[in-house]
Amino acid sequence: MKLNKLLSTSSLTIGLLMPFLLPTSAQAVALAQEDKIEGVIVSRDGDSFVIRGSLGATTNVILTKSTKIDKLKGLIGVRSDNVGADTLVPGLRVSVEPESPGKQITNAKSIQFHTDDLETADEIQGALNVPQQQISALIAKVSAQEKELAAQKEAYEQQIAALKTDINTRFTAADERIGKLDQYDVQAELNILFDRNSATLSNQSKDELKAFAEKAKTYKGYLVQVAGFADSTGNEKINQELSDRRAASVANFLRQSCDLGMSRVLATVAMSSSKAIPTNEAEGNANDRRVTVRIAINKGIANTK
């Protein structure tokens, strides 16, 4: 009887001590979780990201080729899908099983997160990206406008520079021609008449120019001067353009159809209506609608025997 009482007392004592000697299932889970890193991803750079725990401690976690990444589903997370590393975004709450527990930098054996946490992280990323996208779009728009304005400014500057160059060239050419007038003797002159508002050569004018070109070829070192004119009708701009077209028509015919070399026919001169004779005729003076062609010989050559 004493033995039974002793065994009964021992069993009671062991039963009372068991909760303190062996961990409960909850304690076992807690001990297992001590080796895991729980927290939120705060930044990521390639295969490396930083996790911040609930107490503010951070751990650098590195993904390897063998790292397993699972997305838990359901209320208690009993189901899971294996997913890619691109799902690990800042703002996502994760649980990491490290290769080296307790260290600030460690490779990850496995990573788990819940579907709900991923949705929350995506919403955070979306909220952050919208302003950034707007800012990026605005910057791109401003940059494009600046480039367009710069291109327009450059085009305007080029046009102005070209106009200045053209004006200077024209003035220089005119000065040269005026300065050389006394260096040449005019050997022959021909006036080609045109219809009103026309720069088209008539058949008669073409025959006259051919004969004139043959005569020019008989002179040593000859040059052909071509000047266009208009009558007093019409405004100055129209008369200037018309006299220029008439002179160009004659010069081109001499070069192309009369076999005069490019260097023999001087650059044309448009005189507009500067030499026009005032008249009461509604259609102006027919003689003013002309191109004057001259054969000029350098005085030094003309005086050489």
- Per-chain mean pLDDT for the chain: 77
Whole-prediction pTM value?
Answer: 0.40
Does the pLDDT of residue 196 top 70, yes or no? yes
284-298 burial, b for 16+ CB within 10 Å, e for fewer? Answer: bbeebbbbbbbbbbb
Write out the two tokens for 157: 């500057």
Confidence of residue 27 (pLDDT cuts 50, 70, 90): very low
Are 115 and 87 in contact by the 8 Å Cβ rule? The answer is no
Give the Cα separation of 94 and 40 in Å (integer): 6
Q: What are 186's strand-pairing partners?
A: 296
Which has the minimum average pLDDT: 118-127, 208-217, 257-266? 118-127
Q: What are 96's strand-pairing partners?
A: 37, 111
Does the pLDDT of residue 69 top 70, yes or no? yes
Give the Cα separation of 86 and 76 in Å (integer): 24
- Is 63 strand, coil or helix? coil
Which domains, from first to last, does the chain contain?
A: 194-302 (3.30.1330.60)
Task: Report the pLDDT averaged over residues 236-240.
Answer: 86
Which has the minimum average pLDDT: 49-53, 136-140, 172-176, 295-299? 172-176
Residues ≥6 apart with Cβ < 8 Å to 184: 223, 296, 297, 298, 299
Does the pLDDT of residue 182 top 70, yes or no? no
What are the residue ranges of helices labelled H in the chain?
Answer: 2-21, 25-33, 115-180, 203-216, 236-257, 299-302
Write out the two tokens for 65: 């080729």
Q: What is the per-residue pLDDT across 259-304, written as a single tens digit (0 to 9) for each?
A: 888 888 888 888 877 765 555 454 557 788 899 999 998 776 555 4
pLDDT for 162: 85
- 265 DSSP 8-state letter: B
- CB atoms inside a 10 Å sphere around CB 125: 14
Does the pLDDT of residue 32 top 70, yes or no? no
